[in-house]
Structure 1
Amino acid sequence: MKPKRLTGTYIDEDYTDMYIKKRLNYPNIITAEEITKRQRDYMVVLNFYYFNMLIDLKPKGGLYIHSLSEPFNEEMEISYERMKAWIKHFNLKFVQSHCSGHINGTDLKELIKNVTPKVLFPIHTEHPGIFRTLSMQTRMIKEGKTYKL
């Protein structure tokens, strides 16, 4: 028998995804049972949609690092609360640590001031016009146009 999510046993019909089927025969595959026996030796990466695997892993405490953004709409809030319930159920310590690559307005102004660009090209922003209020040359990007830097 192969290891199966949620029951500890597998049968071939459980896996129709060819990507997963190919990996089942890798020599270095590790089962939930093996991880459960030696939890201190492993770090497991699970997104929310695989949290049901915690049932097989049976974590005895530990740390869960949530490295995604905090919820910003109702649907995300519901999923976030479900995730926190799983974490509480398994007595895991929760740490929120996320760096999206986005910056807040005040810090962005400070960064631009420190970098002192000759020309500022606002991209990946909902409000490019706001950058015109800064005391520097700002060019608004036009789709399809080439710009020489």
Structure 2
Amino acid sequence: MPDISVTSRLIPATLLRAGCAGLLCLLVSTVMACATASGSGQAPDASEAERVEGEYVVELAGRDSARAMLEQAFGDHGLERIDALETNRALYRIRLISDPGPDIVREWVVGDDAILRVEPNYRYSSDDATGLSGDLKP
């Protein structure tokens, strides 16, 4: 039967000889194994978060004639509702009858200087670790 005290003294000595490089390799291997086991190893991006279908948050360059600007930009695309979200900035939530998806909605406003940003409206909870997407209009 092997002497446990000899074995327990050999392990720390081996680690000391291997130095930090060996320990670093062990840590990197462990992290990579965990990432592979869990899929991509990254937090889900905003596109995977729970998006409110048909709702978008729109920031306008100004508040003058906001409703008219939004109706002009989205009226032909099934604009159902407009809600003001902030009084300090020209921030609005719009609701579309049918949702073509964020990329197409952004295409609708390309070249419209009155619209600074359009992004999907997401459901958030207090334990939600994802942030706003911050996708700017191209």
Superposition TM-score, scaled by structure 1 size: 0.21
Higher strand share goes to which structure?
2
Higher relative contact order (CA 8 A, sep 6+): 2
Superposition TM-score, scaled by structure 2 size: 0.22
